[in-house]
Amino acid sequence: MSASKPLIGISTYLERTRFGFWDVEAAVLYRGYLDCVVQAGGNPVMLPPVGTWTAETIGFLDGLVIAGGADIDPATYGADPHPMTGEPRPDRDATEFALVEAALKLDLPVLGVCRGMQVLNVALGGTLHQHIEGHNEAPGVFGHTDITVLPGTQLHAILGDHTNVQCHHHQSLDRIADGLRVTAQAPDGTVEAVEMEGARFVVGVQSHPEQDIEDLRLFEALVGVARRKA
């Protein structure tokens, strides 16, 4: 590890993508994640949903971001699909569950973003509400929500009592997995953040901090802990 530039892995997804002369399937990621990691003092490493991801294969990393994206297959938490639930992406589900398991085994700092927070909850045995209203204005349009942060939490030390976040989701946490603690909520009671009790830094947020390059507090917190890799 470089003391000045921790390596932060970020999960990616496979999509049909056009660039140059090509129209092919590619591993892609919204650039905001990369820019936020760099501006926070880290070096980003893109992790595709192919290959084998274990504690041994990600041991070179200093931290991990599970990125936002498609709905998790409800079969992974023992539920039937809701009519509004998107098509399952088993490649990504399997990869990100494996990344979470490996990161926890290594005690790597983890930041779960939107879907990433849901992955963290499901990977540890929790469940999801498959459809809620009021947190997804329109496809590709981020809404704004004021959230209240619970005192005495890692998130409170980073964000304070209240903050305004950007959101774009139609699912949310239902039953909270053992070991996770709810640390923030929206005005309607939607769970906006969780963290793992006893971990150096395992934080999930339902919002999209990568959308605001001017507010790097969460990414700076992740990179700061990663710099002190155990």
| pLDDT score at 98 | 98
What is the domain partition of the chain in residue ranges? 7-228
Task: Give the three-state DSSP class for 92.
Answer: helix
| pLDDT score at 143 | 75
| pLDDT score at 136 | 65
- Tokens standing for 18? 């056009």
Distance in angstroms (rounded) separating the CA atoms of residues 31 and 24: 19
The residues annotated with a catalytic role in the active site are: 114, 208, 210
| pLDDT score at 94 | 97
Contact in structure between 169 and 114 (CB atoms under 8 Å): yes
Residue bearing tokens 């305004």: 164
CB-neighbour burial class of residue 36 (10 A; exposed 0-12, middle 13-18, buried 19+): buried
One pLDDT digit (tens) per residue for the chain, 230 residues: 445 799 999 999 999 999 999 999 999 999 999 999 999 999 999 999 999 999 999 999 999 999 999 999 999 999 999 888 889 999 999 999 999 999 999 999 999 999 999 999 999 999 999 976 756 666 776 778 899 999 999 999 999 999 998 888 788 999 999 999 999 999 999 999 999 999 999 999 999 999 999 999 999 999 999 998 65
Q: Which CATH superfamily is domain 7-228 in?
A: Class I glutamine amidotransferase (GATase) domain (3.40.50.880)
| pLDDT score at 153 | 97
